[in-house]
Amino acid sequence: MSGGFTHFDASGHAAMVDVGGKPATERAATARARVVMRPETLAMIRAGSTAKGDVLGVARLAGIMGAKRTTDLIPLCHPLALTSVRVELAPEGEDAVAIEATVKTTGRTGVEMEALTAVSVAALTVYDMCKAVDRGMRIEALRVVAKSGGASGAFRQD
């Protein structure tokens, strides 16, 4: 009944995947997203003149913290000992902030959800810190762009 989805048991009920028999391997995943905003908002971020301070620095820390809390947010994620979380934010063009997170571990399951959570939390933090001046911001193009390790091997998309 699972239809190929791994988080359902034979009866169709949600279940945590048993990874106990899998070997521990080095694993990594990279995710990206963009926060699109008015050019004036991005100019304030670049100048460091927002009322709440260093938007990109705070969002970077929030993304790292988000990756570490993924298991608390996504019900069927395994708690993982992350070995590295790197979150980068940079102005893109005149109206966006690009966000990329790469997460690594040595374990029995991948870190795609941790990378996606890191980017999501960083993007939400940018929104939170700038919403007073730009409520029309949009979070776009959240996706995994690369993963490595595990039985399924490498994956990459642009």
28 and 148 Cβ atoms separated by less than 8 Å = yes
Number of Cβ within a 10 Å radius of residue 148: 18
**Among residues 9, 18, 95, 128, which one is catalytic?**
128
Distance, in Å, from the CA atom of 121 to the CA atom of 67, rounded to the nearest integer, reads 8
- Residue 22: both structure tokens together: 């899998």
Characterize 53-63 residue by residue with b for buried, 16 or more Cβ atoms within 10 angstroms of its Cβ, and e for exposed: eebbebbbebb
* CA-only gyration radius of the chain, Å: 17
Q: Is 128 a catalytic residue?
A: yes
By annotation, the residues acting in catalysis are: 128
